[in-house]
């Protein structure tokens, strides 16, 4: 893999942000709103509940982590959609750019943009609502890694879906995080879920993260093995999503869709 083409994809994203600062708004606006909303809900629950649960840590922490995962996916998908919206496929794919370089560029762009979102979320949640997130310690790094990796897998899958089903299918991919969140047990323990939902949850790495986070906040020891298993699962899902993208790309080249994507189908 060559560095320059990957850098080109990153540079393009930088140019877009610099040329239209309003594009930066989604990086922090929605996560900021989520933190404020859930911050007050958590504060209210802390004030009325006698259950002894730290709602700020459990709810607000969960919102922050889940938003991060969704932002990674959306950052990658948006970077891909920039090429759909600007009808740039023919110029890109008729160049020496390799698929692996293109996808790597998209992944790095999404990590960069979601880091900005993470910084904004922490800047709000820690001082304003007293979220002591860093109290999770080193396991937090592992949790973040799993969520980043799963967000990347979802982003590649979503981009493949748009390539496969056409530009209009972007409306199918935006709700993916919302569809998955009940299975990922973001706000409640896995044991709440019925058996069939638990079975699905076991295939979703974030479910291990949120279970691990709740265990730590509950004062139980950190279970390293499930967290490492979740990371391996997320890595496997990146490979599967990447394979799907390559499969869809090859099909698009074989059928002529890729050439027409720029010339005819985008409106």
Partner 1 sequence: MTARSEHPSDSAAAAAALRVRDLRKRYGELLAVDGVSFEVAPGEILGLLGPNGAGKTTIINTILAVLTPSSGSIRIGEMDVSRQRSLALARTNFAAVYASLPGNLTVVQNLNFFGLIYGVRFLRRRVGELLGQFRLEALRDTKCGVLSSGELTRVALAKALLNRPRLLLLDEPTASLDPAAARDIRGAIRTLARDSDCGILWTSHNMYEVEDVCDRVLFLSHGRILLAGDPRALPREHGARNLEELFIQLAREPLAHPAERLA
Q: Which of 31, 97, 146, 248 binds partner 1 (CB under 8 A)?
A: 97
Q: Nearer Cβ to partner 1, position 107 or 180?
A: 107
Could you tell me which residues come within 8 angstroms of residue 17 by beta carbon, excluding any fewer than 6 positions away?
23, 24
CB of 22 to partner 1, least distance (A): 12
CB of 16 to partner 1, least distance (A): 6
CB distance 59 to 187 below 8 Å: yes
Residue 3 has, within 13 A of its CA and on its CB side, a CA count of 0
CB of 265 to partner 1, least distance (A): 12
CB of 2 to partner 1, least distance (A): 7
Q: Which of 29, 33, 94, 123 binds partner 1 (CB under 8 A)?
A: 94
Q: Which of 93, 150, 183, 208 binds partner 1 (CB under 8 A)?
A: 93
Window 66-85: residues binding partner 1 (CB under 8 A): 82-83
Sort 23 into a burial class: Cβ within 10 Å, 0-12 / 13-18 / 19+.
Answer: middle
Q: Nearer Cβ to partner 1, position 57 or 257?
A: 257
> Could you say whether residue 258 binds partner 1 (CB under 8 A)?
yes
> Could you say whether residue 16 binds partner 1 (CB under 8 A)?
yes
CB distance 33 to 63 below 8 Å: no
Number of residues assigned to the chain: 267
Residue 204 has, within 13 A of its CA and on its CB side, a CA count of 24
> Could you say whether residue 245 binds partner 1 (CB under 8 A)?
no
| 76-to-29, 69, 99, 220, 256 alpha-carbon distances in Å | 18, 11, 14, 35, 25
Where along the sequence are the contacts to partner 1 (CB under 8 A)? 2, 4-5, 7-8, 11-12, 15-16, 19-20, 82-83, 86-98, 250, 253-256, 258-259, 262-263
């Amino acid at each position: 893999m060559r560095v320059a083409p990957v850098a080109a994809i990153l540079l393009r994203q930088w140019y877009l942000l610099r040329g239209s600062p309003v594009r930066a708004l989604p990086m922090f606006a929605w996560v900021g709103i989520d933190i404020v909303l859930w911050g007050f809900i958590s504060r209210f629950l802390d004030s009325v509940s006698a259950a002894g649960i730290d709602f700020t840590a459990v709810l607000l922490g969960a919102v922050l982590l889940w938003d991060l995962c969704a932002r990674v996916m959306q950052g990658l998908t948006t970077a891909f959609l920039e090429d759909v919206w600007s009808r740039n496929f023919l110029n890109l794919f008729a160049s020496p750019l390799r698929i692996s370089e293109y996808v790597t560029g998209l992944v790095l762009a999404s990590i960069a943009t979601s880091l900005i979102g993470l910084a904004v979320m922490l800047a709000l949640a820690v001082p304003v609502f007293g979220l002591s997130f860093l109290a999770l310690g080193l396991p937090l790094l592992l949790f973040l890694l799993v969520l980043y990796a799963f967000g990347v897998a979802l982003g590649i899958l979503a981009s493949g879906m748009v390539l496969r089903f056409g530009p209009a299918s972007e409306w199918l991919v935006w709700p993916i995080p919302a569809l998955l969140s009940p299975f990922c047990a973001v706000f409640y323990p896995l044991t709440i879920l019925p058996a069939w939902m638990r079975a699905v949850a076991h295939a979703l790495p974030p479910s291990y993260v949120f279970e691990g986070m709740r265990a730590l906040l509950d004062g139980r020891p950190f279970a390293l093995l499930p967290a490492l298993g979740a990371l391996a699962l997320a890595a496997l899902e990146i490979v599967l999503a990447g394979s799907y993208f390559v499969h869809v790309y090859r099909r698009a080249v074989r059928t002529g869709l890729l050439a027409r994507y720029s010339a005819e189908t985008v409106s």
